[in-house]
Structure 1
């Protein structure tokens, strides 16, 4: 079993595509169209590869949840990369700033960006192939090792 897609309601599909095209230059628009969502018209778009995609729906209203608050909702989602430096370079070249540096960890590097719809996206590069090390966080590392 694996996650196939995440469906995000947004208010600027072009801005979302700019961000995710910089993060995933090998992805493409897989499908798109118009529809109706509970009585409100919407445009939708699937952006990804043959196995995973993000669905964008452009009929969003208001703003995303305050990420520093404690409201129920999506905190962030993460993607694994083999080259975190390249992801950072592409996103910053496209005009997106790092929102939060990742924790100092011995077996991974990570960084957080905020996409144009206000979703926090983590990018992580693992420095070990061993699950016990990859899943270890520094706060526990001293007691486990």
Structure 2
């Protein structure tokens, strides 16, 4: 599917039986009772769906899949510009309204350790190391 909207429409219309997507996109349908919800892929339950068990609680031990976002700049961007952008993003992510809205959508703000360019690079490297072998074993590729 080319996005959550057509995938959700197919689920609601009975063309597909299951959809695995991020809570930021699916909570309205879950809360409305339009779809059956099985669990979250995070290590801990999320505030937006407190009754939703984690997949680990349901027997898939050590299973954790996180949706995350990073902000990137072109290679060679001057350090003062990166620092200014990073400070603005960090300030926005500390805003109580932003935190509340993200929580309502089932998202959590990343810890400070992941909010610097270096922290993001460390996280990105760990995700590549975690998922690279899975992707290769599955024969998956981007086209």
Judging by fraction of residues, say which structure has more helix: 2
Q: Indicate whether the TM-score tops 0.5.
A: no
Q: Normalized against structure 2, the TM-score is what?
A: 0.31
Tell which has more relative contact order, 1 or 2 (C-alpha 8 A, sep 6+). Answer: 1
